[in-house]
A = this chain, B = another copy of it.
Amino acid sequence: MASPTDKSAPRLRRKTDSVTMQDVARLAGCATSTVSLFLRKPDLVKGKTGAKITAAIERLGYVPNMMAGGLAAAAATRVVSLIVPSLRNAFFAATADALQAALAQAGVQLLLGHNEYDPAREEALVRASLAWSPAALVLTGLEHSRGTRQMALSRGTPVIEMWELGANPLDMLVGFDHRAVGAAAARHLRAAGCKNVAFIGARLQEDRRAAQRGSGVIAALQQEGASARQAIAPQPASVALGEALLGELLERDPKIDGVVCSNDWIALGVLFECQKRGIAVPERLKIIGFGDLPFAAATYPALSTIRPPGERIGQEVARLALAALNGETVAQKTVDVGFELVRRGTS
């Protein structure tokens, strides 16, 4: 049988007008494969040819098409996908910022999504991300839906979880121990002389890391044989919530003289509430927050807090992602970036 469709009328496909590698090759007087080679491994192409190619690229304003490249190479997709709970959260913004900066240097793009602490939405984002077969998938925390875990694992995509440390990571992990943060804060206040330390937290159901800090506080206090109070609320952390929760706490127990806050926003609210009530800080009440947000050093008195290395996390994640992209295997799959207690005026 003759070829089924041999009518020589070539199909009319909206031939894109964009400059392709073929155009570059033609102008440079070489094969497309040489251009491709030059773009990926310049050393393997002779200087003169390389110069002609460079000139052609320059003259034509050629921009390689990543779609085509990604399709053909399948392995070396130069994208990394990042999923965080929220960008409005300064912690994740800092990490995303540092990650993007580090990736950009290596010519890798960042695909970004946020899930508002909703596992279902995370799953949807993971599914969508994987459609781009990223070189690495970066997730926040260790808690994911079954579907997420399965998708992330079944494909060969390297997965990096971050901002938390714990058992059973999917693959690579960059973070620090939030229980240790809580414990350190509690012990710090005790060492500073507090007899009645309390923990104030927000949104603990959804923000697992804040919950871990809280349980670290409680555990440390109990270990020292001290009483452990807490005031928690389901809504997102905010200054106003800090104000309200301190009020509630003092109502229940006026002897409170030390407060560990689940983050600096809460701590700022506590500090403001103290100002309003005329409670002397740190003499009468000591405060420690978490985050070392931009205002922490400037409040009056300056806020003691614990500084999480948000940027460092971004950098470490970038390092691991880039290693994965280059096919290298890292020896240390878990990176503990630690944290730092910053003692200032409120403690």
Contact = CB atoms under 8 A, between A and B. Distances in A.
In which size bucket is the chain A interface?
A: 35 or more
B124 A113 contact: no
Contacts of A272: 298-300
A240 B97 contact: no
A116 B98 CA distance: 11
Given A61-B154, A63-B127, A272-B299, A97 B71 contact: no
Contacts of A133: 65, 67
Nearest to A82: B112
B298 A269 contact: yes
A1 interface: no
Nearest to A14: B74
A109 B109 contact: no
B77 A87 contact: no
Interface string A179-201: 00000000000000000000000
Contacts of A305: none
A265 B295 CA distance: 8
Interface of A: 14, 16, 18, 61, 63-68, 70-71, 74-75, 77, 79, 86-88, 90, 93-94, 96-97, 100-101, 104, 107, 109-114, 116, 121, 124-125, 127-133, 150-151, 154-155, 238-240, 243, 265, 268-269, 272, 275-276, 294-295, 297-300
8 contacts: A67-B77, A67-B132, A87-B96, A87-B97, A97-B114, A104-B125, A243-B298, A268-B298
